[in-house]
Structure 1
């Protein structure tokens, strides 16, 4: 074989080796990219799962804490002897944001009381000045005042949020309020008349004005733990809410 042929053959061999090497490098890079991508997808999936798990509403515990209806229309929920931390829930039965809070963190609040880790006070107030939301709110809250049994009151509280009307329509009809009370076990003979006569409507309006002024609320829902407002990014995330209450009790 001539010198020129040998050189040509060597060049071809080297070119083939380089081509093979490039293919190996490409395969290695593809494997690395695929592996990194899989790890990234897994990390994203894990992060999404973790975020979702913190956002998920807790399941209610079986044994609810004792509940006491107070003369001012509030309700105290807590085990005997538990004095704090004090979790105050300011809410309006007509308020969509309050319903969202109840849907996400309502069971956490009740669970903390049932576990003996908090004393909870519910403040049903009316914040809306415009109609029909103002009258809707007053009808609902004054109906709740007709219930003297704490367990029934809390069940009615949940029922009102489940059936919350839109903000632009007349809702919480008196007959519906009576029917919902009966659905959750209210058996007091004076309940229907108390609701339909709106016996506590003025008391509800007066109490709301007093609370808004004295407690310096800027809106509903407001959750206070030992007198300090929780930010929405904590209140609406069950896991963060639980952490904040437990921290306040240490």
Structure 2
């Protein structure tokens, strides 16, 4: 081998090594970001305990009325919105808040994989909607968005609208989702959702009490923050080694039996 060819191959190996290190560094930054953002969505934040305690009594009176579960809701007390086939071997339980940036980060990273697995019949999801950020930072955006998502479920458009809400999530401190007009406007991004029935459901807060009941179940479950993501009962949100590829492999392995 000529010295020139040898040097060329060595340079190529060096470039490949540098690229791999860049990819590893990018992955470490991504994980650090998700972990850092997740801290904001923890129920026990010391800086907001006083606010949460002060508001806890107000929430019950702020959302009076009967508990009306959205169409097709399942599970205990009909608090879960299902997506995917009943016969799927893997079940993903997701507790989410539409104002939570860590939830948005999870959705952005895992959504393509989740959609692929649910559409292929390998994964079934049970979504539980909570209003954690309302308690932490004040406001009603978590409640209003969750109610609107439940209204979308009534129309058979939950998954599409759920994704739109996370794609258009305002900054955590911006309670933009407290405005029903904003939520109705976003419904226009989902074909066939923006109807008089949906608008009335959003404006009346038809599912407000149901959202509150879901939030109480979240607290009773002892979960520390959002997103809480359980794959067949295992909390994968706490697994620092979890990636969409690893998640997909676990679900596909289960599907094969």
- Whether TM exceeds 0.5 here: the answer is yes
Picking from 189, 211, 225, the partner of 2:231 is 225
Written as runs of structure 1 = structure 2, the 5 A alignment for 1:4-43 is 35-43=9-17
Paired with 1:211 and 1:48, the residues of 2 have a C-alpha distance of 39
Q: Structure 2 unaligned runs (5+)?
A: 31-70
Of 189-198 and 88-97, the range deviating more from structure 2: 189-198
Paired with 2:224 and 2:232, the residues of 1 have a C-alpha distance of 18
Picking from 70, 74, 79, the partner of 2:73 is 70
Paired with 1:111 and 1:234, the residues of 2 have a C-alpha distance of 21
3-state secondary structure, aligned to 2:240: helix
Which residue of 2 is the match for residue 179 of structure 1?
185
Paired with 1:247 and 1:212, the residues of 2 have a C-alpha distance of 32
| Cα contact 1:75–1:150 (8 A) shared by 2 | no
Which residue of 2 is the match for residue 137 of structure 1?
142
3-state secondary structure, aligned to 1:130: helix
Structure with bigger gyration radius: 1
Compared with structure 1, are the counterparts of its residues 234 and 194 closer, same or farther at alpha carbon in structure 2 (3 Å cutoff)?
farther
Report the CA distance between 1:195 and its aligned residue.
Answer: 0.8
Compared with structure 1, are the counterparts of its residues 234 and 192 closer, same or farther at alpha carbon in structure 2 (3 Å cutoff)?
farther
| Cα contact 2:80–2:126 (8 A) shared by 1 | yes
In the alignment of these two chains, the number of paired residues is 206
Which residue of 1 is the match for residue 151 of structure 2?
146
Paired with 1:40 and 1:95, the residues of 2 have a C-alpha distance of 41
Compared with structure 1, are the counterparts of its residues 167 and 50 closer, same or farther at alpha carbon in structure 2 (3 Å cutoff)?
closer
Q: Structure 1 unaligned runs (5+)?
A: 1-26, 56-67
Q: Structure 1 residue 195 and structure 2 residue 202: aligned?
A: yes
1:12-37, Cα deviation, whole Å (9 max, x unpaired)? xxxxxxxxxxxxxxx96x98666434
Paired with 1:212 and 1:44, the residues of 2 have a C-alpha distance of 46
Paired with 1:90 and 1:207, the residues of 2 have a C-alpha distance of 9
CA RMSD of aligned residues (A): 3.1
| Cα contact 1:73–1:145 (8 A) shared by 2 | no
Report the CA distance between 1:206 and its aligned residue.
Answer: 2.1
Which residue of 2 is the match for residue 204 of structure 1?
211
Report the CA distance between 1:69 and its aligned residue.
Answer: 3.7
Report the CA distance between 1:247 and its aligned residue.
Answer: 3.5
Report the CA distance between 1:136 and its aligned residue.
Answer: 1.0
Q: Structure 1 residue 163 and structure 2 residue 168: aligned?
A: yes
Report the CA distance between 1:83 and its aligned residue.
Answer: 3.8
Give the TM-score taking structure 1 as reference length: 0.70
Paired with 1:102 and 1:154, the residues of 2 have a C-alpha distance of 12
| Cα contact 1:89–1:122 (8 A) shared by 2 | yes
Picking from 101, 104, 108, the partner of 1:103 is 108
Compared with structure 1, are the counterparts of its residues 248 and 212 closer, same or farther at alpha carbon in structure 2 (3 Å cutoff)?
farther
Compared with structure 1, are the counterparts of its residues 97 and 127 closer, same or farther at alpha carbon in structure 2 (3 Å cutoff)?
same
